[in-house]
Structure 1
Amino acid sequence: MGMTMTQKILAKHAGLDHVEAGQLIEGKLDLVLGNDITAPVAITEFDKAGLTRVFDKDKIAIVLDHSTPCKDIKSAQLCATARDFAKRFEITHFFDVGQMGVEHALLPEKGLVAPGEAVIGADSHTCTYGALGAFSTGVGSTDMAAGMATGLAWFKVPSAIRVTLKGKLQPYVSGKDLVLHLIGMIGVDGALYQSLEFAGEGVAELSMDDRFTISNMAIEAGAKNGIFPVDEKTRAYLDGRVTRAWEAVEPDPDAVYDREVVIELNELQPTVALPHLPSNTRTVDQVAGTPIQQVVIGSCTNGRLEDMRQAAAVLKGRKVHKDVRCIVFPATQQIMLDAMAEGLIQIFIEAGAAVSTPTCGPCLGGHMGVLSDGERAISTTNRNFVGRMGPVDSEIILASPAVAAASAVAGCVADPRKLD
């Protein structure tokens, strides 16, 4: 019986020739990640257990991105805890204000993840790195503490769903539309503790930024991880970023999948997820005209350079509606610089949008974009749960950068293909 991509990576890191779905293993880790919300909890447990060393200061990353620059006293205290730990153990990959970015955009950009590697992070969207052909998954802060000390984690080997992609995306349709469509098809628990493994000729049509977006939201379908095969686009992205040796994996021809989902890319339409679940999807034409008060463009899902370009292409020469607040968050300092060099930041500002430092900020209702009572936002983030971005009666509609930008101009949910 053959193995999937995920199973092969886990087998290698456990020192085994073969693993099967449901098997419990202990695997070596290539990277352990935490942020300003989760790392302090892990550090508290680390110290409480009397641990005095980390397994490898070069294989731990701490990124202060959720509530930084600090919004209040509590967030400042959490960041101070993380800073002290990073200094104490000379953590190589510590990213503070001025150097940080949204963690799941920053780590691939810095070359900290490569194909075939095993990564855990005390953040549920750690599954993002599957875009690079790595096994990556979110864990709790206690597991992060143990990982930092031992370089090990236990896993139950997941079974897999094969997602076969065919055709080519149409204009104004992106990876965000694809993953929302997929979650709408299978539900928020449709891949519970399974690996979403993407395959088919349609993979080659997706940009790396598309793949990061799709892998990022694998967790929104309940998946343990999402993973893409390594191809020429992957290698081009890694070139100059990753200098260490890495080894990609491919699924065995007789790999076992619980089921197959086939998606025709050419049939996809701009898609949104209505409150209060990522699976509550509609094509944008079905809900066009729904009033909004705020637009958020950014996050670990859609804050990369390609996302900035898509939003700017819609906003260029247009103005944000007078009744709408549009906030743009490039996901890293480098993306900010690149967007400036391409004139995208100027387009945003001239359109009437506010451009912010890289931060998770409004995505989790942290800061720099919290909603008020009864307000509705359309956002390129990944979750639209009750109270996620403000009061319990506020609402979030998830969308692509193009749809979000078109909606900012129209003052309501709008189709970028039909914008006047």
Structure 2
Amino acid sequence: MKQTIAEKIISRHTGKSVRAGDVVIVPVDGVMATDATAPFAIQALRGMGGKKIWDRTRVSLVIDHASPAPNETIANLHRLMRDFACEMGCRLYDVGLGICHQLMIENTHVRPGDVFLGADSHSTTYGAINALGVGIGSTDAAAVMLTGKTWLKVPQTIQVTLCGELHRGVTVKDVMLRLVKEIGSMGANYQAIEFTGETVRSLSLASRIVLANMSAEMGAKAALVDPSGLELWYLFEPIHPDAGAEYVRRLTFDVSTLRPQIARPHTPENVVPIDEVIGTRIHYAFIGSCTNARLEDLHAAAQVLRGRKIADGVRLIIAPASRNVFNEALRDGTIQILSEAGATFITSGCGPCVGSHLGIPGDGEVVISSANRNFRGRMGNPKALVYLASPAVVAASALAGEIAEPD
């Protein structure tokens, strides 16, 4: 039987050949929960009578959503996670170390071919390195912590072929915004997306992460990026689909025709070419999130802002994906360029993206963000207007005081 990447990975883990639609029990390679989900998972685990976890080396807790704690209530949730990690001997990433998905890849907790579960909707991110990353709820996370297994309905797969060369000022973020518009917010519901094509094979790891991460905005259960051309800091065995594998849908997109894209309020699928919103006044520019906060993204912003100052009346807030990313940007001078341009750096974490801590916009303020979602209230204020764009467009807009192109 010819198989997709998702079918192959699940088959290897279950020890039997599976196809889309099968319901299976799958051993997993790791599970992760954040301060937005881990406290509920710990409570659920206790409710199940759990006294220990299945493998302390495969369980990770990350404090990244409201970090450092903004109030007493959240401080006590963080303490609960620290106490649990100490008791169980599992891994804990504390305040400032980074965003959960970045840390799982950066520290090699998830590897190509793995089945890795995260109690966060953007766990599709792990498909960037040829792993099956699946988002789960807190109760499911508790069950996985106890058993090391989960159940899955093997997803159907949509194949997306990207061809052509990106023009100057256009990035993979623009590609994904356009795809979210084309496929729709529920267009890939409980399906896997396989990205392939000549464009994909030349992408950096950071850009591949954007593809896998934003597949969640289409409802995808998982996203698998063609491992051809993938460069990691360790050896791995790539998993490719079989020729003749069955896909529920095939799409081909020529990226060479693409202009910078903007998602207007209040949904990631409300996407238009930048020409339709250029000149829109902004108050707040944000570079961060699990989508676009890596060194590549900071370099793109620094290229725009080198030797310049952001506009009066605009604040530019940057949350690097991890402390390691921040330190790399510090060593190569990127932080100095951005700081001298007027950027403010905050703790590596998810706070502004979800509106849980740091960088909440005011009523009526217009925000341009490199994050993945702009639902009403997403950044903490339902009376704010949030636009989504690439880091280069965010930087250019901060410079101009209005939505602007990097060029």
3-state SS of 1:406 partner:
helix
1:341 has 2:331 as partner: yes
Q: Matched residues in 2 for 1:347 and 1:121: separation?
A: 35
1:217 has 2:214 as partner: yes
Aligned-pair distance for 1:229? Answer: 1.9
Q: Matched residues in 2 for 1:65 and 1:193: separation?
A: 27
Match of 2:150 in 1: 153
Counting only pairs closer than 5 Å after superposition, residues 9-408 of structure 1 correspond to structure 2 as 9-16=9-16, 18-91=17-90, 93-98=91-96, 100-232=97-229, 234=230, 236-239=231-234, 246-408=236-398
Matched to 1:34, the amino acid is A
Q: Matched residues in 1 for 2:361 and 2:36: separation?
A: 21
Deviations 1:139-191 (A, max 9, x none): 00000000001000101110011000111212111111111111111111111
Aligned-pair distance for 1:291? Answer: 1.4
Aligned-pair distance for 1:258? Answer: 1.0
Do 1:374 and 1:391's aligned partners in 2 also have CA atoms closer than 8 Å? Answer: no
Deviations 1:337-369 (A, max 9, x none): 100111111111111110112011100001110
Match of 1:7 in 2: 7
Q: Matched residues in 1 for 2:401 and 2:380: separation?
A: 20
Aligned-pair distance for 1:218? Answer: 0.6
* TM-score, reference length from structure 1: 0.95
Q: Matched residues in 2 for 1:352 and 1:297: separation?
A: 13
Do 2:355 and 2:381's aligned partners in 1 also have CA atoms closer than 8 Å? Answer: no
Q: Matched residues in 1 for 2:123 and 2:151: separation?
A: 16
Aligned-pair distance for 1:409? Answer: 0.7
Deviations 1:115-145 (A, max 9, x none): 1000011000011010000000100000000
Q: Matched residues in 2 for 1:388 and 1:203: separation?
A: 30
Aligned-pair identity in percent equals: 44
Segment drifting more, 260-269 vs 40-49:
260-269
Deviations 1:296-327 (A, max 9, x none): 00111101000000011111111111111110
* TM-score, reference length from structure 2: 0.98
Do 2:67 and 2:347's aligned partners in 1 also have CA atoms closer than 8 Å? Answer: no
Do 1:373 and 1:390's aligned partners in 2 also have CA atoms closer than 8 Å? Answer: no
Do 1:68 and 1:75's aligned partners in 2 also have CA atoms closer than 8 Å? Answer: no
Aligned-pair distance for 1:247? Answer: 3.6
3-state SS of 1:127 partner:
helix
Matched to 1:54, the amino acid is I
3-state SS of 1:347 partner:
helix
Do 1:19 and 1:157's aligned partners in 2 also have CA atoms closer than 8 Å? Answer: yes
Q: Matched residues in 2 for 1:196 and 1:267: separation?
A: 22
Q: Matched residues in 1 for 2:382 and 2:351: separation?
A: 18
RMSD: 1.1
Matched to 2:83, the amino acid is D
3-state SS of 1:257 partner:
coil
Matched to 2:203, the amino acid is L
Q: Aligned match of 1:412 in 384, 398, 402?
A: 402
Unaligned runs of 5+ in 2: none
Matched to 1:175, the amino acid is V
Do 1:158 and 1:193's aligned partners in 2 also have CA atoms closer than 8 Å? Answer: yes
Do 1:33 and 1:122's aligned partners in 2 also have CA atoms closer than 8 Å? Answer: yes
Aligned-pair distance for 1:238? Answer: 3.4
Matched to 2:47, the amino acid is K
Do 1:381 and 1:398's aligned partners in 2 also have CA atoms closer than 8 Å? Answer: yes
Aligned-pair distance for 1:248? Answer: 2.6
Matched to 2:48, the amino acid is A
Alignment coverage as a number of residue pairs:
407
Deviations 1:197-225 (A, max 9, x none): 01112212221111101111111011111
Unaligned runs of 5+ in 1: none
Deviations 1:30-87 (A, max 9, x none): 0100011101100000011111111110111111111011111121111111111100
Q: Matched residues in 1 for 2:275 and 2:232: separation?
A: 34
